[in-house]
Amino acid sequence: MNLQQFINNMLANPVPYLIPIFTVLGILALVYGFMLRVQGKSIKWGKTNGTLLDCRVTSRTATDSVSNVTINEAHIVTLHYRYTVNGKNYEGNKFKVGISNIGFVNRKDAESVAARFKASPNPVVYYNPLNPADCALSPGQRQTGMSAELNFGAGIVLLVLALGMFFIYRPY
């Protein structure tokens, strides 16, 4: 099947192509809505002083196996810290809620971020009071409006549409 035949088939009967698109978009909207909700709640988390145990930059290179040419290079900042809540020690590695490392294309940028963390060996650690092992060095942002709810709603609508199309049209 060439491209023109594919396009003609898709235009003649779009349902088999829309079902996976709506499903993927619906799942992505639900996941993004969940992340927004968790990040929004984290601004109310408790905070305590921690101790930076490790902060380093590691480099990862992807090369083409055929030509042995470097495709891209990423420089990853990772960190590890300890903190105490109610007399119990915990360890964490997240910069922000859900983000354990930060990647850079330029090594100088990664080294600069790592140097800022190393310059402050006792960072403020934000922790979830319901689960103190859940922590980050920076809380999420306050969510304005209903962005999390709108993403949940859009995700549910897209998944319902995909299911409806699947059961009504039975394209597979």
Q: pLDDT per residue over 54-99, tens digit each?
A: 999 998 887 767 777 766 788 999 999 999 999 999 999 998 887 8
Number of folded domains that form the chain: 2
- Is residue 1 classed exposed, middle or buried when 0-12, 13-18 and 19+ CB atoms within 10 A define those classes? exposed
**79 assigned to some structural domain:** yes
Nearby residues of 130 by Cβ (< 8 Å), 6 or more positions away: none
**Can you give the pTM of this predicted structure?**
0.64
Q: Check residue 80 and give its pLDDT.
A: 95
Please indicate, yes or no, whether residues 61 and 119 belong to a single structural domain of this protein.
yes
pLDDT computed for residue 135 by the predictor: 93
Residue 150 is predicted with a pLDDT of: 84
pLDDT at 143: 57
Interval 141-170 mean pLDDT: 80
| Structural domain boundaries, residue 89 | 49-136
Residue whose pair of structure tokens reads 């042995």 in the numeric block: 68
Residue 16 lies in a domain: no
Residues 156 and 104 placed together within one structural domain of the fold: no
Say what the pLDDT of residue 98 is.
76
Cα 103 from Cα 113, distance rounded (Å): 10
169 domain residue, yes or no: yes
Mean per-residue pLDDT, 161-169: 86
How would you label 104-137 residue by residue, b for 16+ Cβ within 10 Å and e otherwise? beeeeebeebbeebeeeeebebbbbeeebebbbb
